[in-house]
Chains A and B, each alone.
Chain A
Amino acid sequence: MNWQATLEFARGPFFYAALLFMLFGLAYRLVTVIGLGWSKDRVPDKGSKAAGVVKTFLKALLIWPFIPWVKNTFTKNPLIYIGGGLFHLALFTTLILGAPHMLVWKSLSGLSWPTLPLPIVDWMAAVGIIAMLMLLVNRRINPVLKLISGPAEYLSWLFVFLPMVTGYMMTHHLWFQYEVLYSLHMLSVDVMMIWIPLSRISHFIFYFFARAIHGAEFGKRGVAV
């Protein structure tokens, strides 16, 4: 097999095709959801919707959803919070503050920023991989998670796990030639991008809707979010 050609394909045409598919797919889903219509809320407010929205975002942006704000909910299923939190932290750190990834953002947007040294990014990646394994085990053990998980949930896990592992293997030159690992990394990233709009991984878009709704619902009643 010609890995050089594979790599060029996976970094080139396939990458851009997958990227476009992801962007259009997400846009399509956004538009269909918004297109379902939003009825006006005529109920008079007691508190302030806007204040509720601002507060809930301050309390729960990005990594904060993984802090168990509500009492007595952490003790019985702590892995979800710990694993989920560490996984997302690792994901965002490597994707935004890892040097090779920053260069991708730069080539796409023109903006650049300082990055973290490789060993730190590397450790974060390891943390992310371990956290994802924890999440998978938990999904197989916890009776609620078992019940609500179908093939799609496991595929989502897999398609995010593969770039994490291949990325890690690449920086450590594990087992295979660099081109092979790089190709695998890029192929898995491309597959993930195609999968995102088809699956629940698009939660990162709808998160902003649900959070805003939460803030508005609690805010309008004058209840702490």
Chain B
Amino acid sequence: MTATKQAYDTLVHETGGWVASQLEACTRCGMCAEACHFYQATGNPEYAPVWKVELLRRAYEQRFTLVGGFKTMIGVEKRITDDDLKHWSELNYHACTVCNKCSMVCPMGIDLGSLLHGVRAGLAAADMVPEDLMAAVNKQVKEGSPLGMTDSVWDQRLEWVADEWEVEIPRDVKGASTMVVFSSIEVMKFPTNVAAIAKVLNAAGEKWTVSSKAREVVNFGFYEGSEEHTKLFINRVLEGARDLGVKRIVVTECGHAYDALRWHAANWIPEANDFEIIHITGVLGELVGSGRIKLKPGAFDGQGTITFHDACKIQRKGGHIQEPRDILKVLAPNSFKEMTPNREESVCCGGGGGVIAIKAADAPRYAAFQLKIDQVNSVGAKTVTMTCSNCRLQFTDGVDHFKLDWKVTGLAQMVADALVE
């Protein structure tokens, strides 16, 4: 029962007044289920968000409430067992992307995404993280990246990108104002994105650099829910930034990493506030809006309908909702079409939260992606663009799996292709 004990202690530790007041507010109305793409796609009632946080609620009730204490004493309250942990590990890691859509639907306004992250913390403390995901976390601890982007691989890949696309990628420049940290997904799988971002920043005359110390922005510790690992990976980024003396850290097209760095880091590591942390979408919006880069209007018109997929961590939880629209209105004023629902109400791609890294989660992941297929098809889009490489990974995989004829691309890449020198 030590696993259970550890999970219980961590769950209890996660529960301050902020969490407790929200657990208390729940009326058990079940509305949140309708928000969850995993529930919608499969109809499995256990995928209801309120049920996924059940472990946290039980720990809270037993530890902190008179009624819970009494119910435990007379034996009507279920104690958390190792089997429960295994079961909830599957519910939470296989069928939840922590996308926080459910929080928009809950009539009480409960911030379910944060509570679900708390459940992960408990499961992580009990070593109940799915094997594939844990292997990736350990790889990031040891090699600096979950995708095998070691020092030398990073070095060679960036060299190759610079050569292949003939862009300059400034490295370890002391005194640069902006440090860009790419995700290994981009460096390893979407190198065009790396080239595109470099091209755009150079065109804007930005004093930027990458750091050989802070080479990986992805944070698998945050997927896992382990505070220790999350902090470790954040610190690597912050150290790189401190060494180079930059003012601003730009997170590239990666959602979870942005959530961790922008919206959580300072609460664990106050020095994070020494830097402005911003997502590349915000930077692109700024550059286009202020006219520092010029785009060819209508560059993407005439190639069929283009639609934009809102990423949960960059749009709904990140706030960069308007910038992509403003940019797309320049790039494809006639062929850009919104899906419904969109913006902060967008349907998650189904691959985030580490789900795509877990082989055993393929079934719910593909099921959830079908909602996205319906959405894209109903606007008749041939091109889907987005600002998150993890979504993009899910889309490319989904397109392959379901044999779709869409083009999947990234916003930065579109901007780079439409640059007017």
Q: Which A positions have Cβ atoms within 8 angstroms of B?
A: 28-29, 32-39, 41-44, 46-47, 56, 60, 65-66, 68-74, 76-77, 80-81, 84, 142-149, 153, 198-200, 202-203, 205-207, 209-211, 213-215, 217-218, 221-224
Contact = CB atoms under 8 A, between A and B. Distances in A.
Using C-beta atoms within 8 Å of the partner chain, give the interface range for chain B. 35 or more
Contacts of A211: 108-109
Given A33-B20, A44-B266, A198-B67, A70 B105 contact: yes
Contacts of A34: 17, 21
Interface string B326-343: 000000000000001101
Given A39-B16, A70-B341, A147 B31 contact: no
B165 interface: no
A207 B25 contact: yes
B16 A72 contact: no
Given A69-B104, A72-B34, A214-B106, 10 more contacts: A32-B64, A38-B17, A39-B267, A43-B263, A70-B35, A80-B29, A205-B24, A206-B108, A214-B109, A223-B321
A42 B45 contact: no
B396 interface: no
A143 B39 CA distance: 11
Contacts, number: 165
A110 B34 CA distance: 45
B21 A210 contact: yes
Given A70-B104, A215-B109, A209 B21 contact: yes
A144 B51 contact: yes
Interface of B: 15-18, 20-22, 24-31, 33-35, 39-40, 43, 45-46, 48, 50-51, 54, 64-67, 101, 103-111, 114, 262-267, 270, 273, 315-319, 321, 340-341, 343-345
B341 to A, nearest CB: 4
B109 A36 contact: no
Contacts of A222: 319
A56 B344 CA distance: 14
Contact of A153 (B15, B28, B66, B340): B28
B18 A144 contact: no
B319 A42 contact: no
Given A34-B17, A77-B34, A210-B25, A146 B45 contact: yes
Contacts of B46: 147
Among A146, A200, A215, the one with the most B-chain Cβ atoms within 10 Å of its Cβ is A200
A34 B298 CA distance: 55
B182 to A, nearest CB: 23
Contacts of B29: 80, 84, 145
Nearest to B35: A73
Contacts of A33: 17, 20-21, 24
A109 B344 CA distance: 44
Among B28, B109, B341, the one with the most A-chain Cβ atoms within 10 Å of its Cβ is B109
